[in-house]
Amino acid sequence: MNYTKNLKAVVLLEDGTIFTGKSVANNSFTSFGEICFNTGMTGYQEIFTDPSYFGQIMLTTNAHIGNYGTNKNESESDSVKISGLVCKNFSYNPSRVDSDLSLEEFFANHSIYAVSDIDTRALTEYIRINGAMNAVISTETEGIEGLKEQLKAHPSMAGLELSSKVSTDKAYELSAEGTFKHKVAVLDLGVKHNILRHLTKRGCHLKVFPWNTTFKEMLEFQPDAFFLSNGPGDPKTLSTVVDVVDSILANNHPLFGICLGHQIISLAVGISTFKMHHGHRGINHPVKNLITGKSEITSQNHGFSVSLEEAKNHPDVLITHVHLNDHSVAGIKLKNKDCFSVQYHPEAGPGPNDATYLFDDFITMIESQSN
């Protein structure tokens, strides 16, 4: 590690705006993606390995990234999923007893590039005002015109199907921890490890299926319930998954969906989704549970949302949770079905953990049907 030699690097936005910083590693690179910011003060390893971030350049607002290293048990998937990192101070000397690898080495092992020394406050504010957009990070600082051309050709997140890039290739099973209670079929649209942990910890034996598995194929596992995972990309592109949800609902199997899963359930009942201005990404998003009247602090990571008007006016849908910053839909329940879903992340690691009760509610829903 010799960061005095680090190359100059740029963050070039789709609208031509340029921010200049330094490459974290000493090699040259160019990487494209939709730039988005996450305001979490901790949990960077979980963010970088979250499959829902596939295809995105992560801009972190915390002043230091890498300062507590990485730990092999704290990844949300088996690889780094972001297209690159933009940060203020990159920490080359991690300090933490539990760290088994520096973030610098972790990124190098996964061929992920990072730009540091960026005015991340200014860039975040810029995106907050001007909206989500594609960007490129590159050490080719003399070739801006060429980068602009390549950036133009980079597809926009709206209309992108990305679950196929991150889902498991083959179905696999995970045993329940402790006493076995229920068999749950998980449709992996880009599932985070911590969701699987929350389910197995509650006595669920899981079979995790590739994103394009049919309802009939999943039924062969004879599940007591279904789970629809989080994942990257535009929910509207997943019409085959909407078909699966139609069949699950037609047979009234218990169903719980998180984030992308929530958006697919909404689409299946006829509520449309849309691309948000700049999305919700952080670990302090306030949500109100309209059933209990209690508020909860939640972790969020989404760039699409479901229509509030359509959810409000849908005869079979109850809005159960609302985001308190912008009053967007944060959770729904289907009135005549054993199905609910949330736009946020009850499984969040490192937290907050206010919403883990939703996993307990899922178990209660399964049990009330099997009794």
Ligand X SMILES: NC(=O)CC[C@H](N)C(=O)O
How far apart are alpha carbons 268 and 332 in whole angstroms? 13
Burial class (CB in 10 A: 0-12, 13-18, 19+), 25: buried
From the list 220, 273, 212, 206, the residue with the least C-alpha distance to 241 is 212
Strands 114-116 and 18-23: antiparallel
Amino acid at 12: L
SS3 category, 311: helix
| Smallest distance from ligand X to CB 255, Å | 16
Known binder of ligand: residue 255? no
| Smallest distance from ligand X to CB 24, Å | 25
Q: In the complex, which residue's CB is closest to ligand X?
A: 259
Known binder of ligand: residue 222? no
265 binds ligand X (CB under 6 A): no
Pick the binder of ligand X from 13, 259, 330, 342 (CB under 6 A).
Answer: 259
| Smallest distance from ligand X to CB 297, Å | 17
Known binder of ligand: residue 340? no
Stretch that binds ligand X, among 12-20, 217-225, 299-307, 350-358 (CB under 6 A): 299-307
Confirm if 81 and 51 have CB atoms less than 8 A apart. Answer: yes
| Smallest distance from ligand X to CB 124, Å | 18
Q: How long, in residues, is the chain? A: 371
346 binds ligand X (CB under 6 A): no
Question: Nearer to ligand X by C-beta: 43 or 94?
Answer: 43
Pick the binder of ligand X from 83, 230, 266, 299 (CB under 6 A).
Answer: 230
Pick the binder of ligand X from 301, 320, 328, 341 (CB under 6 A).
Answer: 301
Pick the binder of ligand X from 12, 185, 260, 339 (CB under 6 A).
Answer: 260
52 binds ligand X (CB under 6 A): yes
**In the numeric block, which tokens belong to residue 6?**
């680090």
Amino acid at 254: P
232 binds ligand X (CB under 6 A): yes
How far apart are alpha carbons 243 and 187 in whole angstroms? 13
Known binder of ligand: residue 263? yes
**In the numeric block, which tokens belong to residue 180?**
């076995």
How far apart are alpha carbons 13 and 368 in whole angstroms? 51
231 binds ligand X (CB under 6 A): yes
* Footprint on this chain of ligand X (rule: CB under 6 A): 52, 230-233, 259-260, 301-304
